[in-house]
Structure 1
Amino acid sequence: MFMPALRSEITKLLTTRIWWILAIILFLYIGTVSGGLGVVFGFVSRTAGLESAAAPPTDVLAPMLYGSVSTFGYVFPVLLGALAVTGEYRHQMLTPTFLATPKRGIVLGAKTVALLIFGLVYGVIGVLASVGAGAATLALFGMETQLGDSDTWALMARGVLALGLWAVIGVGLGALIPNQLAAIVVILVFTQLVEPTLRAIVMFADWAAAVGKFLPGAASDALVGAPSFFNMGVTGEALEWWQGGLLLAALALVLTIVGYFVSWKRDVT
């Protein structure tokens, strides 16, 4: 029963335009961020010297640019996951879905796996954008791209995994907040305002670093294992990459379970 439900969920996503629209925006956005920052720091390094305090060290810049897929791109798989769930409520598709698959836990599980797959695809798209644009700008300024380093390729793989987990988090948020507009507002406010503000505060307050490293975005950066613009000035020990991954997975699990009992099991019309 699970595999037919999984195929159904994948088909639902493929027959909508939102998944590839968000994918295109993700690619263009991350490519612009990675390439633009590469140009800025490359120009600073060339004009002020490679050891200028205004630019990150050359061995840090490449992974920072490549890791932008997580630092700046995680909002897209979260939105996709939330829209995949809230769209069922908005377009009143849950009734036929539950008639076809009466066990609601299987439906939610299939949707979670389907979004994990799409999130991984988003991860590949985002990595292609961040690495492609970032490496191109580094090469343009005669700086080391580190593409021959195995650690760089491991970073890319973890970046793909991070976006996959974020898509599952989006499923949990959508199940917890079934109203589509409310879910979108919550996601955008948190990812674009609340968390960046909190992480900026952590940068200037050493006492908050111990707490700040457990924020979802910080955990995502820890999973990828690349320095980000939010943690360069933070002192204290960061999470290990596997700890960041476990934290994201735990967040996704908790949100999905709570969403299942709060909204998913309710009667639908």
Structure 2
Amino acid sequence: MSTHLATPSTGKVTFGGVLRSESIRFFSLNSTRVLILVAVVLNMGIAVLGVWGVGSFASEAPPMAGVPDMTSPEFTAELLGSGLAFSQLILGVLGVLLMSGEFTTGSAVSTFLASPQRLRVLGAKALLITILSALVQLISSVLTYLVCLPLAKNYNMKLDFFASHFQNVLWYGALAVVMAALIGLALGAILRNSAGGITSLVALFFVLPIVTGLLTMLADWVQNVVQFLPDQLGMSLALPQSYPSDLELWQQLVGVAGWTLIPLILGAWLLKARDI
């Protein structure tokens, strides 16, 4: 009796295969599901509190000269985007963990042995976090609208899904979150450390705006710098009334592209040049 040993088949590593592998591994983590849930709930909760608070005040306070109409469609729509900064932070943290986790857990060795082309792995991670962050923010904005609509009607606040004001919150809000997530991914590739990447992300999106805001009281020219910061660029697109900007639309979009691509290019170069 003879035993036949089958010759093992060799598989070809493709971008689709790497993307599928990254997706399975990413969504198998409890931290991923928890952070996504927190992002959606927090975005909705802050918007509900904003509509309820403003609606209660507007219904009791008499109209005052020089004060904008708080029941207008523009004002109400931007209330629905009041939790956008927290969505940027949470999805940005997910971007950091998606890349830095490879090095903090030591799985980078097996990942790059299975797929020696490191830029292909980075590209798959970038596509994954882009799709994920965009979908999470879009779904979150739609759910926020549905939850806040009856509350807004109760206080006679105008809210229209297809109005340009809410469409800015919907689409440019998703763009702002995608930018933060990709910057987080790039920081994870550059620093290779979860704590360092998250700290740098918080400093960029929360600490730096506070510092520059204080400096504007000492020098007027600082205001020209502030409008090019990533948080200001994303917010001024989604919430133009709350975050006014002197930049034109194309300039804001170029700024968002620059803040997204330059860190990713640096992260890609370092990922390819350094040892694991």
Normalization by structure 1: what TM-score?
0.85
RMSD, matched Cα:
2.6
Structure 2 residue matching 1:146: 3-state secondary structure:
coil
SS at 1:74's partner residue?
helix
Query: What's the offset of the Cα at 1:75?
Result: 0.7
Change (3 A) 1:205 1:55: farther
Which residue of 94, 114, 124 corresponds with 2:128? 114
How many residues end up aligned between the 2 structures?
262
SS in 2 for 1:58: coil
> For residue 188 of structure 1, what is the aligned residue in structure 2?
202
Give the aligned partner of residue 49 of structure 1. Answer: 62
Distance 2:65 2:36 in 1: 36
Residue pairs, 1:129-208, within 5 angstroms: 129-199=143-213, 202=216, 207-208=221-222
Q: Is the 8 A contact 2:187 2:267 kept in 1?
A: yes
After superposition, the C-alpha distances for 1:215-260 in whole angstroms (9 at most, x for unaligned) are 11110013325433xx3xx6xx433444333322221211111122
Query: Which amino acid is 2:54 matched to?
Result: F
CA drift of 1:91 comes to: 1.1
Structure 2 residue ranges without an equivalent (≥5): 1-13
Instruction: Please report how far the alpha carbon of residue 84 of structure 1 lies from its aligned counterpart in structure 2 after TM superposition.
Output: 0.3
- Alignment-derived partner of residue 223 in structure 1: 237
Is the counterpart of residue 257 in structure 1 residue 265 in structure 2?
yes
Distance 1:70 1:201 in 2: 24
Which of 246, 249, 255 pairs up with 1:247?
Answer: 255
> Is 1:100–2:93 an aligned residue pair?
no
Shift of 1:130: 3.9
**Structure with max Cα Rg:** 2
Match for residue 88 of structure 1? 102
Q: Where does structure 1 differ by over 6 angstroms across 4 or more consecutive aligned residues?
A: none
**Residue equivalent to 2:19:** 6
Contact 2:190–2:266 under 8 Å retained in 1: yes
TM-score normalised by structure 2 residue count: 0.83
Contact 1:89/1:178 (<8 A) preserved: yes
1:94 & 1:85 partners in 2: Cα distance?
9
Indicate conservation of the 8 Å contact 1:175/1:263, yes or no: yes
Change (3 A) 1:48 1:264: farther
